[in-house]
């Protein structure tokens, strides 16, 4: 089922998350139009505005909503200029947001500009 907040987002896929909380959650991955283009082309430098939202569920119950958005150059130059946010499952309360170093530390290991884009065939064919 698609959460209310994702009504205007594009769904990219759903799978058991490998990165977050050791396989506890099923992740549904959403993006906006800018992110969808990067997903299709497999670009290594994502354009500002690209947004990804990872909705998690555990046994059908909502878990955290994790969001990242590429900001303009200079927002966080040492870490790819990504903004991160953690919200509750219904996206009513933002628990943490901004230049979150714990998110950036692990996402820096991704093959492409801090995003993993799991399931993107453009990236996998490289
Ligand atoms: C220990 C490593 C690790 C940490 C810490 C981590 N992530 Fe991730 N994240 C991943 C991996 C791996 C994926 C690819 C999907 C999966 O989980 O299998 C991912 C996917 C995502 C995605 C989907 C976009 C993409 O990169 O493909 C978002 C959004 C996201 N994470 C947000 C966050 C936020 C916000 C935080 C900090 C609260 C965070 N992550 C912390 C490893 C991590």
* Ligand 1 site, residue 19, Cβ cutoff 6 A: yes
Ligand 1 pocket test: pick from 13, 18, 19 the residue with the most ligand atoms within 8 Å of its Cβ: 19
User: What kind and span of H or E run contains 3?
Assistant: none
* Ligand 1 site, residue 103, Cβ cutoff 6 A: yes
The pTM of the full predicted model, rounded to 2 decimals, is: 0.96
Query: Residue 31's pLDDT is what?
Result: 97
Query: Residue 126's pLDDT is what?
Result: 45
* Ligand 1 site, residue 88, Cβ cutoff 6 A: no
Query: Residue 120's pLDDT is what?
Result: 86
How much of the chain exceeds pLDDT 90, in percent? Answer: 77
What number does the ligand 1 atom closest to the CA of 67 have? 29
Domain range list for the chain = 4-120
Ligand 1 pocket test: pick from 6, 84, 94, 107 the residue with the most ligand atoms within 8 Å of its Cβ: 107
Query: Residue 27's pLDDT is what?
Result: 97
Name residues of the chain where pLDDT drops below 50. 125-126
Q: What is the DSSP string of 51-96?
A: EEEEEEEETTEEEEEEEEEE--TTSSGGGTTEEEEEE-TTS--EEE
The CATH code that applies to domain 4-120 is 3.50.70.20
What angle is formed at CA 49 by the lines to CA 11 and CA 10, rounded to 5 degrees? 10
3-state secondary structure 28-62: EEEECHHHHHHHHHCCCCCCCCCEEEEEEEECCEE
């Amino acid at each position: 089922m698609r959460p209310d907040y994702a009504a205007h987002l594009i769904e990219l896929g759903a799978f058991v998350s490998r990165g977050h909380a050791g396989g506890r959650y099923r992740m549904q991955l959403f993006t906006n139009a800018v992110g969808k283009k990067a997903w299709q082309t497999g670009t290594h430098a994502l354009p500002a505005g690209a947004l990804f939202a990872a909705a998690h569920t555990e046994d059908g119950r909502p878990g955290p909503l994790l969001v990242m958005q590429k900001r303009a150059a200079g927002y966080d130059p040492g870490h790819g200029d990504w903004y991160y946010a953690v919200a509750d499952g219904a996206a009513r309360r933002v628990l943490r947001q901004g230049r979150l170093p714990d998110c950036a530390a692990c996402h820096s290991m991704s093959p492409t500009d801090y995003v993993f884009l799991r399931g993107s065939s453009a990236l996998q064919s490289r």
